[in-house]
Amino acid sequence: MSLPVAARMARVRPNAIRELLRLGDDPAIVSFGGGYPDPTLFPVDELAAVYADLLTPAHANTLQYTASVGMPRLREQVAERLTKDGMACDADDLLVVQGGQQGLDLVAKMLLDPGDLVLTENPTFLGALIAFNPYEPRYLTVPMDDDGLDTDALESLLTASPANVPKFLYTVPEFQNPTGVSLSLRRREHLVDLAGRFGFVVLEDTPYRELRYEGERLPTLRSLAPDARVIHLGSFSKILAPSMRLGWVLADRDVLGALTLLKTATDTQCSTLNMAATSAYLDRYDIDAHIGRICASYRHKRDVALAGVARWFPSSVRFTRAQGGLFTWATFPEGFDTAAFMSGRMIPEAKVAWVPGGTFFPVHEESHHARMSFSALPDDRLEDGLERLGALLREELGA
């Protein structure tokens, strides 16, 4: 680039998400990559009726500007749902954003100066790193296991360097992207306690919270935080339709005021039409019944995927068994490079793709992992892709 761009652009680079979105549009590729919802589950007929009603002279104001913070009725509806989920709030505690991704960007813009410390799970959501990197933070990572982020390890890190206080810790507590694991109740309570003791903010990202299809529903970090040190992000992308680009931020009102100023500078507001359509959908239809149908479908897809893995993959490959969400996380023997294998064999020989795992590690990449999403594929393509991939892996790794 010949323009005299800001130094921060050195942290803005092509990434695996962009490449996997491209592959997802190629019908010849069986892609386990992008974390797409299943389009056959979108409530198309209901949304068509809603938009048809709104796009009439009687509702011309749905094509007008509205408040940067978001339409009042939609914020009321979201507040009602969050209150039922243990996070007592009202409309004035919420900011409507362009999906959870904009929430990540705005929080980072509000909190981070160059060189500030951010704590993340290891691995963590690539989209969060994409949002944070332009603000030039340093990262310190916390290991994970089947119970999510290891809060005992986190306490040890914080205790070892008490003067090096992070600006915030970023976490996806439910069905984490990329691993699919969830943070246990004991660790949720421990994490909130550590935030209060050491004085850092927790950025809680919950795009998959509603997609639980087995196991016990656990309280959010926001509901466990007596000093409201948690900024809570949520989204309609996985439970309604991602193209509507609507999510929310729940935070203390002084925090929301700052975030709203930043949003006004960025894009003025979310789409009035899409906010009105979402609000009308919530008024007219039973979104919880819709979520129930989604969860039943994704549980079936997960079971099909894991059965295919058990049948066709080498025994040396380990997979997580998520209780919800859209992903499983594959771990291969040390020395196996999932990026090289995908570009060198999977795509040219089997027309199959995944997300190489190294890109999810903020500090030290680990190349022997891959994220695989089962959510958007019909059963026949899911099984066909897994069988073809399994055959290649058996050639490469043995039985």
Where does the pLDDT of residue 82 fall: very low under 50, low under 70, confident under 90, or very high at 90 and above? Answer: very high
Q: Considering the entire predicted model, what is its pTM?
A: 0.95
For 88-131, write each residue's pLDDT tens digit. Answer: 999 999 999 999 999 999 999 999 999 999 999 999 999 999 99
Residue 78 to residues 72, 282, 296: CA-CA distances in angstroms? 10, 9, 23
What is the overall mean pLDDT for the chain? 95
Instruction: Say what the pLDDT of residue 14 is.
Output: 66
* Predicted confidence (pLDDT) at residue 243 exceeds the cutoff of 60: yes
For 304-336, write each residue's pLDDT tens digit. Answer: 999 999 999 999 999 999 999 999 999 999 999
Q: What is the average pLDDT across 188-209?
A: 97
* Predicted confidence (pLDDT) at residue 363 exceeds the cutoff of 80: yes
Where does the pLDDT of residue 299 fall: very low under 50, low under 70, confident under 90, or very high at 90 and above? Answer: very high
Mode of pairing for the β-strands spanning 168-171 and 117-122? parallel
Q: What is the average pLDDT across 135-164?
A: 95
For 157-196, write each residue's pLDDT tens digit. Answer: 999 988 888 999 999 999 999 999 999 999 999 999 999 9
In this prediction, what percent of the chain has a pLDDT beyond 90? 90
